[in-house]
Structure 1
Amino acid sequence: MLIARTIMVDDIPGYQPHAPFDVTDADDLGEQGGRLCYLSWNRPNPATATNQGYLANILGQGHYSVLEHSSASFYIDGVTRNFTHELIRHRHLSFSEVSQRYVDALGFVAHPGLASVTRPARYWMDEVVEDAQDAYGTLVDNLTEQGQGRKQARQAARHVLPGGTETKILVTGNLRAWRDLLTKRLATNAQGEPLADLEFYEVAKRILVELKRVAPNTFQDFEVPA
């Protein structure tokens, strides 16, 4: 869920704004940053006179620093701790995640790769998950009865939970950081198969859909996979 994005409140002095509603604020701010570098306010080159053309040139030159001025924030739930363990490797993003030390464990989220699993394998998977959740609850109760506090009991008991335990996270990043994430997590091999973990790949697709609404010209070189 997209919950925040860049909003312009004024233009850099000298900048000639595009027609109202022709350009999103996130795309517009990137252009303003780029034009400021060269004081090219009068748009002398027809190929870069539009925001789309200007940002296409920025992308072609790899002048990504101007894309750092605009940002987007996403609230993500229904994902696993395994997913967020990979997500936080993208260090230019900012994160706020549900704490397993203070909050009771959430449910289990099946990995997309498990969709085709049939019995008896599915039966044993469900049994393991249920046993782990039962063990977690039992451990929390046992440690609490011994006098341990809420945080201490949960931080110890969570060690029996599977990596597929659900989590919720808020993620904010500038558009350059989001481009870096999408480049890596939407990459495919020669056969068109995702190189990233399938759960991450599916989340990245949804993020791209929203970013193409927020800043279509900044992400004009990305296609949303089927």
Structure 2
Amino acid sequence: MCRHLPSARLVAYLHDSPRIIASASKLTLSPKDFTSISEGMSGERAEEWVRELVKRGHGSPLEHSLFVFEVVCSRACSHQLVRHRHASFSQLSQRYSDKYLRGMIKKACELTGIPYAEDYGAFLRVLGSLSASSPGFHDLLDVVAEAFIVPPRVVEAEDKGFLEALLRGVESYYRAVASGISFEDARYLLPQAVKTRLLVSMNARELLEVFIPLRTCSRAQWEVRNVAWQMLMELRRVAPELFKYAGPRCVLQDARVRAAPCTLDEYLSGSCTPTVERCPELVPRDRIAECIRNALRGAGCGHGDLEPGS
């Protein structure tokens, strides 16, 4: 369990989205009403309509859908998520909750053997004792991961100084709160790595045409890329007809210029070769599949958990 990494899980979605989207698409051409179209729309036909939507870039029917995720990530990452305008967000407030920080204090109590007490002075004593005991990197990571997202490169390098800097931020925060400074002012002392929780709602158009292409790309920042790949794997599980074509921008770009769109699995397996000379990030055609694999490789706690086709 990699608690120092972000997580994303699908918590709700509009069931039968592929059929609804396919029926909405056919409605633009048919004299029949939606109910008649929908009742006559088989799974196979729905998949054909979706494939045509992806190929032609006819995105408006994709908006007749909704997918809701719970995301736990850093504040640095959440700032990137909320830039997506065609989405809805509800986020844990730092003005009213120090949930993750208290979780870290409880974990520090376990390591130091000090009983947990609901008192800011006690929190500071626990943090002082933790620093004085000079725990090893992995013991310290186990504590810090309760409240912070830690970059994989920091973990690979076992950079204890990085973790200690995060702890100093928490100590400064609780020292300020203990002195009477409000939560909303004390939070200015916290590092951007501090965890937050969001509920994120998007429709299939935002996911297929904007969020997933941009954020699963190997050029995306590592944490938001991690979140995006987790979201994509969740989507493929519940609506494969829609999201088997989803992937980085090179996948979307290639789908628009070929006779029939390829799935992400087909690109990764090599059974489908990109037709575009270069992707939007200027990666040449013969390196696109490997670039996608590299993006996926850095996207999980053991990227096999996120492997397409699994």
TM-score range for the pair, normalised by the shorter chain length: 0.7 to 0.9
Is 2:215 the partner of 1:198? no
> Which amino acid in 1 is paired with 2:216?
L
Within 5 Å, which residues of 2 pair with 1:1-226?
Answer: 1-7=9-15, 25-39=16-30, 50-77=45-72, 79-104=73-98, 106=100, 107-118=147-158, 122-143=159-180, 153-179=182-208, 180-187=210-217, 194-222=218-246, 223=264, 225=296, 226=307
User: Following the alignment from structure 2 to structure 1, what is the Cα–Cα distance between the partners of residues 86 and 19?
Assistant: 22
Note the aligned Cα RMSD (angstroms). 1.9
Query: Does the 8 Å contact 1:80/1:109 carry over to 2?
Result: yes
1:155-211 CA distance string (max 9 Å, x none): 110111111001111000111111210000112xxxxxx111111111111100111
Q: Which has the higher helix share?
A: 2
| Pair 40,206 (structure 1): closer, same or farther in 2 beyond 3 Å | farther
> Which amino acid in 2 is paired with 1:89?
R
Provide the residue aligned with 2:272 in structure 1. none
Query: What is the TM-score when the length of structure 1 is the normalising length?
Result: 0.77
User: Following the alignment from structure 1 to structure 2, what is the Cα–Cα distance between the partners of residues 206 and 158?
Assistant: 29
Superposition deviation, residue 104 in structure 1: 1.5
Helix, strand or coil: the match of 1:63?
A: coil
Superposition deviation, residue 113 in structure 1: 3.4
Specify every segment of 5 or more residues in structure 1 that has no aligned partner in the other structure, as ranges: 8-24, 43-47, 145-152, 188-193
> Which amino acid in 2 is paired with 1:128?
A
User: Following the alignment from structure 1 to structure 2, what is the Cα–Cα distance between the partners of residues 94 and 166?
Assistant: 19
User: Following the alignment from structure 1 to structure 2, what is the Cα–Cα distance between the partners of residues 40 and 131?
Assistant: 67
Helix, strand or coil: the match of 1:60?
A: helix
Query: Does the 8 Å contact 1:113/1:198 carry over to 2?
Result: no
User: Following the alignment from structure 2 to structure 1, what is the Cα–Cα distance between the partners of residues 231 and 154?
Assistant: 22
User: Following the alignment from structure 2 to structure 1, what is the Cα–Cα distance between the partners of residues 14 and 53?
Assistant: 19
Helix, strand or coil: the match of 2:175?
A: helix
Specify every segment of 5 or more residues in structure 2 that has no aligned partner in the other structure, as ranges: 1-8, 38-42, 101-146, 247-263, 266-295, 297-306
Query: Does the 8 Å contact 1:96/1:170 carry over to 2?
Result: yes
User: Following the alignment from structure 1 to structure 2, what is the Cα–Cα distance between the partners of residues 123 and 31?
Assistant: 53
Helix, strand or coil: the match of 2:93?
A: coil
Query: Does the 8 Å contact 1:27/1:217 carry over to 2?
Result: yes
Query: Does the 8 Å contact 1:75/1:168 carry over to 2?
Result: yes
Query: Does the 8 Å contact 1:186/1:204 carry over to 2?
Result: yes
User: Following the alignment from structure 1 to structure 2, what is the Cα–Cα distance between the partners of residues 115 and 52?
Assistant: 43
Helix, strand or coil: the match of 1:28?
A: helix
Superposition deviation, residue 105 in structure 1: 5.8
> Which amino acid in 2 is paired with 1:181?
F
Helix, strand or coil: the match of 1:33?
A: helix
Comparing both chains, which one has the higher relative contact order based on Cα–Cα distances under 8 Å and sequence gaps of 6 or more? 1
> Which amino acid in 2 is paired with 1:113?
R
**Percentage of matched positions with identical amino acids:** 29
Moved more, 208-217 or 62-71: 208-217
Superposition deviation, residue 89 in structure 1: 0.7
User: Following the alignment from structure 2 to structure 1, what is the Cα–Cα distance between the partners of residues 188 and 157?
Assistant: 26
User: Following the alignment from structure 1 to structure 2, what is the Cα–Cα distance between the partners of residues 183 and 94?
Assistant: 19
Superposition deviation, residue 49 in structure 1: 6.3
User: Following the alignment from structure 2 to structure 1, what is the Cα–Cα distance between the partners of residues 87 and 224?
Assistant: 15
